[in-house]
Amino acid sequence: MRIAFLVAPEGVEQIELTEPWKAVHATGGVPVLVSTEQGEIQAYHHLDKADTFPVDEVVGASDVADFDGLVLPGGVANPDQLRLDDKAVAFTKAFFDAGKPVAAICHAPWTLVEADVVRGRVLTSWPSLRTDIGNAGGEWVDEEVKVCDHGPNILVTSRKPDDLPAFCEAMTAEFDKARVAD
C-alpha cells in the first residue's frame, strides 16, 4: 500500500506529517513524500523551523494510479501554498475522481476547498476554516475525527495535533479497508 503525503516546500506542521507517516509505516504501508518542488521540504513546529525531509516525488510527475490513498498534513502555510498550485490541486482532486481515500488534518482542508471536493461532505478542521468549508458546500463539525463516506470516497479529517491519535487510527483503518476492497 503506497500512500502519498502531499506537502508544500515549506510550512507543514511537522507532527502532522511525522505521526501519520509513522502510522502508515507501522501498518505495512509505504509513505511517499510528494511536493511541488524537488529537494527537501522545511517542516515547522508552529512558527519555528523544525526538521527538513527529502522529497520522494514531484507532484507534476506523480500519478495518482500509483497510490492507494492521500494524506494532507496541515500547518497554516502548507495548505495555503498548495491551494495556489494548480498541479497540487489537480493531484488532490484526482484522488476523489479515482475513488481513493483521503485524510486531511488541521488547515489541510483548504486544499480540499480549492479542489472543489467538499460539497455535500461533513468534515472537521481547524476552527478558522469553518466558514470556508461552509461556503464551499461542506458541513463543518467540531469533532476529534470525522470519517465521511460519500459515494466511492472516504474522507478522514481532524482538527489539530491533539487529535492525531484518533486521526491516525481512523486514517489507517480506512486505508486498510480500501486496500482489502481492491
Catalytic residue set: 106-107
Distance between CA atoms of 75 and 161, rounded to whole angstroms? 10
In DSSP terms, 182 is beta-bridged to none
Would you state the cell numbers that stand for residue 133, as one nine-digit string?
468549508
CA proximity to 133, closest of 147, 151, 145, 115: 115
